[in-house]
Each structure stands twice: as C-alpha cells, then as structure tokens.
C-alpha cells in the first residue's frame, strides 16, 4: 500500500520535471515568434520576451519589402516541396506495388539495390550532380533540386511494407475477372493505401522543405534559393539591428511545418519514426 502511494509521488515528480523540460524544448520557438512582433529597436532589450508584446506586423511587411526576394524564395520552397511530394507519391507507390504484389525476374535483387540507397549520404552524390546540372543548365534552378528527389528508397520501402500488411484477396479476385494490373493498382490497391500515403506525403514535404546542404550547393543566386539558405542570408543582411525582421521571416518559414504538425501530430510522428525503423 505504502509503495503504491510512493510510486504515485514518484510519477508526479517525474511528470513535473518532464513538464519543465518540455517548456524548455519549446522556448526557442516562443522566443522567435515573440521576437517577430517586437519593434526592431527593442530586439536586444533584456530580459528576452517569450510572449508577443503586441500583434504588430510591421516586421513582416519589412521582410516582404526588403532587398531579398522573399516571396520568390518562398515560392521556390513551396514549389520544390510540392513537386517532390507529388512525384514521390506517384513513383514510390507504383514501384511498391510491383515489389509487393507482382513476381518478375530480378525483383528481389532490384529491391535490395534500392535499399542500399538508404546508406548513401547526399555528400557522395552531390559532386557529380553539380557537374551534370552545370552541363545541362539545371544549376541554379530550383526544379533541379526537385528532380533529384522525385523518388526515394525510403518511400518505396514504406509503401511496400504497408501494402504487404494488407489482404490481397480483392486484387486476386479482380485478376481472375481479367482486370489488367494497372486497373487493379488504381482501383483496388491505391484506395487501401491512404494511411501510408498521407504519412509519406507529410514526411516528404517537411523533409524537402528543410533541405539545406543540397540547396546550398545547387542554388546560388537569391532568386533561385529556398528558405533555409535564404534565412542565413537574411541574417547576414540585417545583421544586428533588425533581428526582429529576421525572426518575422523565420516565423513565416517555419509556419507550414508547424501547421502540418499541429494538424496531424500522430501521422507526423508515426511517419518520421517509420523513416527510421526500416532495418
């Protein structure tokens, strides 16, 4: 009896500690949003504020009217992320269907070759891609960055695993009725894949939104940049005085990802962790 109440107290203390730590986890985000509403002159006033003093959008309009083509950059990021997400949803699902449902010579070895791709860092592909893009004129075009990621080993793996956990009786019945493979894929398999596809879509979008290394190498001039690189540039431009303006730009840059996270927390967490648990 006593140990039980002792256990309850331990639970409470640990939860309290976790709550305090949890506040520290979100503090940087609170600071950045609050800062984006502070008058530029007060940016460095101490103590720092973690709650917005008032809703003053002047810093936001300063970003849009700065010498950095912020809207163009925002559009680039959005375009790349959307194109990559749609592209992966199509290519990965098609390939996953073949690997999960069809038998053909070399299937397992080809799948294995795709899996090996999970081990190659971007660093080992970037130099030839840079040289190749320079040759065909894709350097400094955001679409080039998007093209690199139109398929992914991880996506194929994720959808294939999910498909294998689904019953295939319906598909077999349709085959008996003489339906073609594409029809089976489109009419029967695809509708069952909704959870896997939304997870893949969300991970792919956030991942692409966050790419830095590749974007920095491939997209040099300002109008071609994506947000993560532009943010570093903005910081340099506006240096000390206009910290609030940088944070206004940052708030706009993190907004889509935070919105997705708040709306689909469960899917995001499942998806991102799935992106880990593959081996």
Long-range contacts of residues 162-169, Cβ cutoff 8 Å, at least 24 apart:
162/193, 162/195, 162/196, 163/96, 163/97, 163/100, 163/101, 163/189, 163/192, 163/193, 163/196, 164/100, 166/192, 166/193, 168/101
CA distance 11 to 169: 48
For the bound state, the minimum distance from the C-beta of residue 151 to another protein, rounded and expressed in Å, comes to: 4
For the bound state, the minimum distance from the C-beta of residue 257 to another protein, rounded and expressed in Å, comes to: 6
Binder among 5, 54, 103, 165 for another protein (CB under 8 A): 103
Q: Kindly tell me which of 173 and 269 has the beta carbon lying closer to another protein.
A: 269
Site string for another protein, 68-87 (x = CB under 8 A): --------------------
Binder among 5, 47, 136, 165 for another protein (CB under 8 A): 47
CA distance 182 to 169: 17
Binder among 129, 158, 163, 238 for another protein (CB under 8 A): 129
Which of positions 154-213 make contact with another protein (CB under 8 A)? 156, 180-182, 185, 206, 209-210, 212-213
Binder among 6, 39, 71, 122 for another protein (CB under 8 A): 122
CA distance 131 to 143: 16
Q: Kindly tell me which of 57 and 186 has the beta carbon lying closer to another protein.
A: 186
The secondary structure of 82-120, three-state, reads HHHHHHHHHHHHHHHHHHHHCCCCCHHHHHHHHHHHHHC
Which of positions 205-264 make contact with another protein (CB under 8 A)? 206, 209-210, 212-213, 216-217, 228-229, 231-232, 235, 240, 243, 246-247, 250, 253-254, 257-258, 261-262
């Amino acid at each position: 009896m006593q140990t039980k109440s002792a256990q309850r107290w331990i639970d409470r203390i640990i939860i309290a500690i976790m709550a305090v730590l949890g506040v520290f986890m979100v503090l940087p985000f609170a600071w950045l949003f609050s800062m984006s509403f502070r008058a530029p002159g007060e940016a460095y006033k101490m103590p720092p504020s973690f709650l917005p003093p008032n809703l003053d959008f002047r810093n936001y309009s300063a970003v849009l009217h700065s010498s950095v083509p912020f809207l163009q950059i925002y559009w680039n990021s959005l375009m790349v992320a959307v194109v990559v997400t749609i592209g992966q949803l199509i290519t990965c699902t098609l390939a996953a269907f073949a690997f999960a449902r069809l038998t053909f010579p070399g299937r397992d070895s080809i799948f294995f070759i795709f899996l090996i791709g999970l081990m190659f860092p971007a660093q080992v592909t970037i130099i030839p891609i840079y040289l190749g893009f320079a040759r065909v004129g894709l350097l400094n075009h955001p679409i080039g960055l998007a093209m690199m990621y139109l398929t992914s080993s991880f996506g194929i793996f994720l959808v294939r695993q999910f498909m294998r956990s689904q019953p295939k009786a319906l598909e077999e019945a349709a085959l008996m009725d003489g339906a073609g493979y594409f029809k089976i894929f489109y009419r029967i398999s695809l509708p069952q894949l909704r959870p896997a596809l939304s997870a893949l879509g969300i991970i792919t979008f956030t991942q692409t939104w966050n790419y830095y290394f590749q974007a920095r190498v491939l997209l040099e001039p300002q109008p071609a940049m994506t947000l993560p690189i532009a943010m570093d540039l903005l910081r340099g431009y506006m240096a000390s005085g206009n910290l609030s303006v940088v944070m206004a730009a940052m708030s706009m840059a993190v907004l889509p990802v935070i919105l997705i996270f708040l709306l689909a927390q469960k899917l995001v967490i499942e998806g991102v962790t799935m992106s880990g648990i593959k081996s």
